[in-house]
């Protein structure tokens, strides 16, 4: 039976994993994602899943085992955060290159140093060119739903790409909220069974994975991955609609909150969008045409759709929860690039907020909107909530 | 389970011709000899290294069996993932064959950068055999020293100079480190006797749980030998006790090849350019004496572990 | 996807769409690679002297020693042989002699 329970984002993701019952999970503990493998270990210990759970000795080995298990033909899931994600960096492009449909619970946490356990997006943003699909969730409900949806997205024959399902560390991962969950049978039939292409364990048709490919073919193989991501943009909505048909919940690539007629739009990802949406409502009551565009899918970046939403606005602010020191913050860079391609010259303020778990309050969002209305827009990046 | 070579000539090696390893390289010989006694379907996991690069120059592959490589430091984790998938898929009725898993790593990928991943895989008890094809240095990047490089050898990052006579440190005793994981089968051998290599690997593969075989293989370029000397150098490595041939079965240490007579270490060192500096100048005699003393010390250590004695006909 | 591909078809992909998924290569496709071109000296085998002890077969890095159905040495595969000379060196009966490639101007050993 479908149920509604008060659980955390991590537990919600772990619940989805239980229902998916993957063939292999290889994981290593790191705050704040540790709850996911811990909870999953309980499921294993109590016979709630029959997954082969591999308790590896590092994140590097976790993702390596996931990659080889997926190449072998298994359905594979794992989770990690921050420095663990950074340690996996070498292997992420290999997963994408092997077209491994791994679903990965990435619980965003700031990348040390200084060591800090709280949320920002510096960990996943470091992996934005790895060839993985990036989905950023607003709350625990979305983390749960995305885990299930991502299995179908990753294993889509025209896609075959690994997927990061990101949620904000502590803010989402450790906060308890009401989450509606599907019954086990519904999830089981929605995800079906993996039908792997060219599985390594097919000993009658031996294949070689991970060849030494020099300048003659390296480029061509990478070009195929570009195509896979173009196919994500093409097929995502149909997978999301399929999920809607079993859950009643539809998750578009872009969460457009009161943007249709908006003059002033704040672009943001993950949990901070809740704050921005509240402020949008407050401003709308005062007659200000405010809107919030939450980017749920960051890779592939739905640039044309973003430009369509923002192109008509009078001013836009982009909120990044990560820096690109010496350059433009990642989300801001993507949005600017999308507007340029669309020939839209919209005044745009780049803002960086929330690093290392710094709180983001409604007052901050209110000030950002106020500056957009006043036309107080600067070329340089602004830092929200910084002691200065 | 004595192996008769004649019975194996009809079998096709999992590694075909057409690979690009150097003429006289020991690595492919270790693969041919090691895997010739295996009857089960195999999946091979390879760490980055000469064997990996030279056998899979895209779009060609010299592997007749399924083969996977991801990176340098993670072959232990790589085989863990494949084996975990096999167990899961078999349990769920999606695979019905009995498949064995063999991992190849050079000494760089095994003694150094891959040690953590190997240790993790051994501790977890996956059912696989790890074969270290040990040529005692980083050959794929141009003969740098590794923790397997023996004392006094010349390597490009421990060159024999006017002040320093090659590598100063003793090689790590990886076989003993692996044995300390209390896995059921550990062995050390070299390409001096194909039957020995084949039997040890066969035993390793057929033993449930993790197994490890450390095979000393010559690198023609780094060792600076005539390519034709592969077998002779390996025989001298065993006969001079430079590379003792032994196995540890469920904690029981046993020397499986005891030279019939005392062969001085010079005979192993002399044909190799990496030891050329030991045969020149005023320090030559002292360095060679030290080399012999190291051999005696390490051999005694091994005899003690095995609870054995050695009485050669001098 | 998987059913359409085999090693012959992928021998030399012409455009990016033709490269197999994940850049996989297929089992033993390297058998098409003639490493015999590397050789500067050539093993010449004397069937009269050979006792088929298989030392050469065992020690050959390139699996270039050919054997017949009875497990007897039957020749040398010059398509793969890189000319290392191990076979001649290990032979207890001097049944293999290494000769300069220059001695075989009209016969490269290619298939």
Name the 3-class secondary structure at A353: strand
CA distance A42 to B122: 24
Average pLDDT over residues C5-11: 48
A217: which chain C residues are within 8 Å (Cβ-Cβ)? 13, 19, 23
Confidence of residue C11 (pLDDT cuts 50, 70, 90): low
Domain count, chain C: 2
CA distance A275 to A367: 13
Of all residues in chain C, the one with the smallest CA distance to A99 is C22
A200 part of contact set with chain B, CB < 8 Å: yes
Q: Do the domains spanning A3-247 and A254-384 agree at the CATH topology level?
A: yes
Could A64 and B43 be called an inter-chain contact, meaning their C-beta atoms sit closer than 8 Å?
A: no
- More reliable by pLDDT, B68 or B7: B68
Average pLDDT over residues C34-57: 96
Interface confidence, given as ipTM, is 0.96
- More reliable by pLDDT, A79 or B313: A79
Spans in chain A with pLDDT lower than 50: none
Could B120 and A61 be called an inter-chain contact, meaning their C-beta atoms sit closer than 8 Å?
A: yes
CA distance A357 to B12: 60
B228 part of contact set with chain C, CB < 8 Å: yes
Of all helices (H) and strands (E), which one includes residue B297? helix B284-306
Q: What does the pLDDT look like over B227-250, one tens digit per residue?
A: 999 999 999 999 999 999 999 999
Contact partners for chain B, using 3 or more CB pairs closer than 8 A, are A, C
Helix (H) and strand (E) counts in chain C? 2, 5
**Residues 40-99, chain C, touching B (beta carbon < 8 A):** 54-55, 57-64, 67, 69, 71, 77, 79-80, 82-86, 88-90, 98
Of all residues in chain B, the one with the smallest CA distance to C38 is B23
Same domain (yes/no): C26, C57: no
Q: What does the pLDDT look like over B141-178, one tens digit per residue?
A: 999 999 999 999 999 999 999 999 999 999 999 999 99
Same domain (yes/no): C70, C111: yes
Of all helices (H) and strands (E), which one includes residue A26? strand A24-27
Confidence of residue B2 (pLDDT cuts 50, 70, 90): low
Residue carrying the six token digits 């060849």: A211
Q: How many residues does chain B have?
A: 314
A99 Ramachandran zone, left/alpha/beta (phi>0; psi -120 to 50): left
B151 Ramachandran zone, left/alpha/beta (phi>0; psi -120 to 50): beta
C41: which chain B residues are within 8 Å (Cβ-Cβ)? none
Same domain (yes/no): C57, C23: no
The topology under which CATH files domain A3-247 is Rossmann fold (3.40.50)
Same domain (yes/no): C64, C41: yes
CA distance A99 to A160: 5
Of all residues in chain C, the one with the smallest CA distance to A71 is C22
Of all residues in chain A, the one with the smallest CA distance to B117 is A61
Q: Which domain holds residue C44?
A: 33-111
Same domain (yes/no): C17, C51: no
CA A265, chain centre distance (Å): 21
Domain residue ranges of chain B, discontinuous segments joined by + = 10-306
For A222, what's the count of Cα atoms within 13 Å in the CB-facing half-sphere? 10
Average pLDDT over residues B185-209: 97
Superfamily of segment(s) B10-306: Thiamin diphosphate (ThDP)-binding fold, Pyr/PP domains (3.40.50.970)
Same domain (yes/no): C90, C70: yes
CA distance A286 to A217: 59
Q: Is the pLDDT of residue B305 over 70?
A: yes
Predicted local distance difference test score (pLDDT) of residue C1: 36
Same domain (yes/no): C43, C71: yes
What does each C-alpha distance from B148 to B136, B169, B180, B243 come to in angstroms? 5, 10, 18, 12
Same domain (yes/no): C52, C95: yes
Q: Is the pLDDT of residue C8 over 70?
A: no
C13: which chain B residues are within 8 Å (Cβ-Cβ)? 59
User: Which of B85, B91, B126 should one mutate to test binding to chain A, selecting the residue with the greatest count of A CBs within 10 A?
Assistant: B85
CATH number of the domain bearing residue C49: 3.30.70.20
CB B119 within 8 Å of CB B183: no
Contact partners for chain A, using 3 or more CB pairs closer than 8 A, are B, C
How many C-beta atoms lie closer than 10 Å to residue B259's C-beta? 17
Interface of C with A (CB under 8 A): 1-2, 13, 15-17, 19-28
Q: Is the pLDDT of residue B301 over 70?
A: yes
- The answer to whether domain A254-384 has CATH 1.10.3720.10 is no
| Nearest CB to C86; choose among B20, B59, B231 | B231
Domain residue ranges of chain A, discontinuous segments joined by + = 3-247, 254-384
Same domain (yes/no): C21, C61: no
């Amino acid at each position: 039976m479908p149920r509604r329970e008060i659980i955390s984002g991590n537990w919600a993701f772990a619940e989805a994993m239980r229902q998916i019952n993957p063939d292999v999970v290889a994981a290593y503990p790191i705050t704040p994602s540790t709850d996911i493998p811990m909870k999953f270990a309980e499921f294993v210990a109590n016979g709630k899943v029959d997954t082969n759970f591999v308790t590896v000795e590092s994140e590097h080995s976790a993702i390596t085992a996931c990659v080889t298990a997926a190449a072998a033909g298994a359905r594979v899931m794992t989770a990690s955060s921050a420095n663990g994600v950074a340690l996996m960096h070498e292997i992420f492009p290999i997963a994408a290159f092997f077209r491994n449909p791994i679903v990965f619970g990435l619980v965003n946490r700031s990348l040390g140093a200084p060591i800090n356990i709280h949320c920002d997006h510096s960990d996943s943003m470091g992996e934005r060119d790895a060839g993985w699909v990036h989905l950023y969730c607003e709350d625990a409900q979305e983390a749960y739903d995305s885990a299930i949806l991502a299995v179908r997205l990753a294993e889509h024959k025209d896609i075959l790409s690994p997927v990061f399902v990101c949620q904000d560390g502590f803010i989402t991962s450790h906060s308890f909220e009401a989450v509606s969950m599907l019954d086990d049978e519904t999830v089981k039939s929605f995800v079906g069974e993996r039908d792997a292409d060219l599985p390594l364990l097919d000993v009658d048709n031996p294949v070689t994975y991970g060849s030494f490919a020099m300048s003659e073919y390296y480029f061509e193989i990478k070009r195929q991955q570009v195509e896979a991501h173009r196919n994500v943009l093409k097929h995502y909505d149909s997978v999301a609609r399929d999920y809607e048909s079993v859950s009643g919940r539809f998750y578009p690539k872009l969460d457009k909150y009161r943007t249709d007629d908006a003059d002033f739009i704040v672009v943001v990802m993950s949990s901070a969008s809740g704050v921005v949406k509240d402020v949008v409502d407050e401003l709308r009551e005062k007659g200000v045409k405010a809107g919030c565009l939450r980017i749920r899918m960051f890779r592939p970046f739905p640039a044309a759709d973003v430009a369509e939403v923002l192109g008509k606005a009078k001013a836009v602010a982009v909120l990044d929860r990560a820096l690109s020191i010496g350059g433009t913050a990642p989300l801001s860079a993507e949005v600017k690039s999308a507007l340029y391609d669309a020939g839209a010259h919209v005044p745009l303020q780049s803002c960086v907020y929330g690093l290392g778990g710094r709180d983001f309050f409604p007052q901050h969002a209110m000030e950002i909107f106020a500056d957009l209305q006043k036309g107080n827009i600067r070329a340089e990046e602004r830092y929200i909530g910084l002691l200065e | 389970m004595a192996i008769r070579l004649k019975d194996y000539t009809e079998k096709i090696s999992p590694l075909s011709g057409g690979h690009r390893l150097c003429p006289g390289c020991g690595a492919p010989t270790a693969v041919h000899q090691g895997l010739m006694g295996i009857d089960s379907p195999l999946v091979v996991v390879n760490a980055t290294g000469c064997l990996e690069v030279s056998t899979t120059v895209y779009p060609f592959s010299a592997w007749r069996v399924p083969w996977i490589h991801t990176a340098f430091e993670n072959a232990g984790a790589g085989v863990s993932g494949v084996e975990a998938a096999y167990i899961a898929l078999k349990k769920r009725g999606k695979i019905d064959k009995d498949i064995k898993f063999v991992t190849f790593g050079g000494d760089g990928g095994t003694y150094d950068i891959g040690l953590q991943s190997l240790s993790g895989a051994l501790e977890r008890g996956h059912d696989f055999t790890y074969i270290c094809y040990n040529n005692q240095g980083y050959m794929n990047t141009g003969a740098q020293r590794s923790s397997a490089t023996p004392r006094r050898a010349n390597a490009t990052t421990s060159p024999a100079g006017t002040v320093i006579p090659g590598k100063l440190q003793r090689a790590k005793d990886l076989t003993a480190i692996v044995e300390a994981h209390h896995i059921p089968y550990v062995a050390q051998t070299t390409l001096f006797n194909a039957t020995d290599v084949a039997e040890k690997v066969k035993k390793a593969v057929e033993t449930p749980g993790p197994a490890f075989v450390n095979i000393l293989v010559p690198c023609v370029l780094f060792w600076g030998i005539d390519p034709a000397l592969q077998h002779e150098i390996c025989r001298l490595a065993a006969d001079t006790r430079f590379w003792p041939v032994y196995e540890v079965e469920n904690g029981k240490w046993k020397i499986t090849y005891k030279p019939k007579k005392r062969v001085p270490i010079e005979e192993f060192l002399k044909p190799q350019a990496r030891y050329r500096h030991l045969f020149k100048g005023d320090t030559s005699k002292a360095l060679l004496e030290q080399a012999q003393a190291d051999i005696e010390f390490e051999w005694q250590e091994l005899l003690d572990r095995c609870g054995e004695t050695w009485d050669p006909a001098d | 996807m998987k059913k359409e591909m085999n090693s012959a078809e992928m021998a030399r992909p012409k455009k990016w769409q033709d490269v197999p998924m994940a850049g996989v290569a297929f089992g033993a496709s390297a058998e098409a690679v003639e490493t015999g071109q590397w050789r500067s000296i050539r093993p010449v085998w004397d069937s009269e002297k050979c006792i088929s002890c298989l030392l050469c077969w065992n020690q050959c890095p390139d699996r270039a020693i050919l054997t017949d159905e009875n497990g007897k040495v039957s020749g040398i595969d010059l398509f793969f042989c890189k000319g290392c000379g191990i076979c001649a060196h290990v032979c207890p009966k001097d049944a293999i002699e290494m000769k300069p490639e220059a001695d075989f101007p009209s016969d490269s050993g290619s298939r």
